[in-house]
Amino acid sequence: MNYRIFILLISLTTIIGCKPYETTKVRKNQITYDEFRLQQRTFPSQDGVIKYIDKGNGPVIVLLHGVPTSGWLYRKMIDPLVSGGYRVVVPDMLGFGSSDSPEGFDIYNEQNHAKRLLELMEGLGVEKWTQVVHDAGGVWTWELIKSQPHRIENLVLLNTVIFDNGFYPPIQLQPGIASKTKMWSYRKGIATNNLFKKLFDEGLQENTLNHLDVEGYKIPLTEGKTDALYYYYSETCNTLPDYRDVFESFNVPTMVIWGIHDTMLQWPPQQISVANSFAIKEEAIHIIDEKHFVQETKAKKISYLIRNFLSSDKEK
């Protein structure tokens, strides 16, 4: 039997009836993925087109997603931050969301993601900004800080990758045909539901997402955007770089907002190291009652914490 047909049959058997959402009931004023994409603008980076949202006026806040998400993760936080008097930039990093997904491996390494984010900000004419990071957005940010630390004037850490201690990736792959077949199954929609059901069941205390919520996460994968995932799960998750020297030389106001029940990025094993490395004041550490995807259930709370943090820092 053809190998791919065999994998297809096994996968279909596994995922029959597996839905990554709990309801099809739509919330009032809920944005669809098509509507979100219509708000996005286009930036031609050297490696491919990057899609991004740029909304509001005032000091700039960059909302940086991780893996396997995109700017869609922050859809509920954009307006609350804009209404606070900020210009909010939300990119889909190359290989994610609506951005291009060129074939390749090293094109998706941490250094190249950082380079492209700097390209975008220079293209927008933004010299300094507040960086909000989640998940793999952390490692891309540490690489950016290595090359141009003066660009980030405030930092907000949302359940992001910092140290090996506390980092328990939900997926770890070895490069090769088996892992590439898994990526193929995501592109073909065979195991996509399974992937997001696993992530949301593990990443939310209660998975209350509906089909429109999940659509914004699934569609990019079924459009073929899996090379960036393949790099992260088979490279970064196995050999996380050590950025302690970067943290020691970086000194900007930093706030932590962390879902305490996160099993993928655990806070207790690294809380002292994080607080010391970034010189975070105790009042700037906010532990909230959630798991990994804090933006899905705590968007307003997070947005107002960020606004308060930035306004209090401005007053000093």
Quote the pLDDT of residue 24: 75
**DSSP 3-state of 47:** coil
Quote the pLDDT of residue 14: 47
Structure tokens at 98: 């609506």
Scored b (16 or more CB within 10 A) or e, 140-160 reads bbbbbbbeeeebbbbbbbbbb
Average confidence (pLDDT) per 10 residues, the chain, 316 residues? 51 55 81 98 98 98 98 98 98 98 96 98 98 98 97 98 95 94 94 93 94 96 97 96 94 97 98 96 97 98 98 68
Residue 91's Cβ-count burial label (10 Å; 0-12, 13-18, 19+) is buried
**DSSP 3-state of 204:** coil
Quote the pLDDT of residue 315: 58
**DSSP 3-state of 156:** strand
Quote the pLDDT of residue 19: 78
In this structure, are residues 99 and 53 in contact, taking their beta carbons and an 8 Å threshold? no
3-state secondary structure 220-265: HHHCCCCHHHHHHHHHHCCCCCCCHHHHHCCCCCEEEEEECCCCCE
Quote the pLDDT of residue 17: 45
Check residue 206 and report its DSSP letter.
S
Quote the pLDDT of residue 253: 97
Q: For residue 53, how many other CB atoms are within 10 A of its CB?
A: 21
Report how far apart, in Å, the C-alpha atoms of 278 and of each of 147, 154, 246, 284, 287 are: 18, 11, 10, 11, 17
**DSSP 3-state of 53:** strand
In this structure, are residues 159 and 255 in contact, taking their beta carbons and an 8 Å threshold? no
